Chain A
Amino acid sequence: EIVLTQSPGTLSLSPGERATLSCRASQSVSSSYLAWYQQKPGQAPRLLIYGASSRATGIPDRFSGSGSGTDFTLTISRLEPEDFAVYYCQQYGSSPPCTFGQGTKLEIK
């Protein structure tokens, strides 16, 4: 089973700043089957990025994903107030089982 480790656990930034979130896999993620999700309190997760770097439908272009192999990054270029949430990475290439990282909480500084 591929273990995903996200860092940092909490990221404190201000609106307008750039956010960089990391996801490291315990072994190579096949064909970059790596996704990122955003979750706000009381809501289901929302797909942001799939295939490591493709934006899902309706996702603003301030969200971008990069990386391959075992190291992946989610970047939010200029934080908007609605971006403060918890972010999870997921590998879905070796499903089953798919696995999730433990999450990064992005909070307002």
Chain B
Amino acid sequence: QVQLVQSGAEVKKPGSSVKVSCKASGGTFSSYAISWVRQAPGQGLEWMGRIIPILGIANYAQKFQGRVTITADKSTSTAYMELSSLRSEDTAVYYCARGGAQLPRPFDYWGQGTLVTVSS
């Protein structure tokens, strides 16, 4: 059974950075892409970017270019999302999700979500 387990909730100051982890188990980590999707309070889903661990290639949504870095550690089957220059509008639940690497696939498994609160 595939599981994605994320790190715990974070409270950050404006201007700082946050790094959220997503540990995969039960599947072949490197064969898929891991995407990061965020959801602000009461809002919809917003794709931030993804990484293909087997290639080490990351792609980012234009909105987050320069502010987000997605990495993966194949040895521990863990993906990371680091968001810098945090502002109050970044307060959201951040999800990791498994999708396709070389072929398009929907997001069939999701992490439980990590609440990041940005507040002074």
Interface residues of A (CB under 8 A from B): 31, 33, 35, 37, 44-47, 50, 56, 88, 90, 92-93, 95-103
In the complex, per-residue mask of B87-120: 1 if CB is within 8 Å of any chain A CB, else 0: 0000000010101100011111011110000000
Q: Across the A-B interface, how many residue pairs have beta carbons closer than 8 Å?
A: 66
Interface residues of B (CB under 8 A from A): 35, 37, 44-47, 49-50, 59-62, 95, 97, 99-100, 104-108, 110-113
| Residue in B closest to A57 when the chains form the complex, CB atoms | B108
Given contacts A88-B44, A97-B61, contact A45 B107 (CB under 8 A): yes
A92 touches B113 (CB 8 A): no
B47 touches A98 (CB 8 A): yes
Tell which of B59, B100, B104 has the most Cβ of chain A within 10 Å: B104
| Residue in A closest to B35 when the chains form the complex, CB atoms | A98
Given contacts A47-B108, A56-B106, A96-B61, 6 further A-B contacts (CB under 8 A): A33-B104, A88-B45, A90-B106, A97-B62, A98-B99, A101-B44
B104 touches A95 (CB 8 A): yes
Nearest CB of chain A from residue B103's CB, rounded to whole Å: 10
Residues of B within 8 A of A88 (CB): 44-45
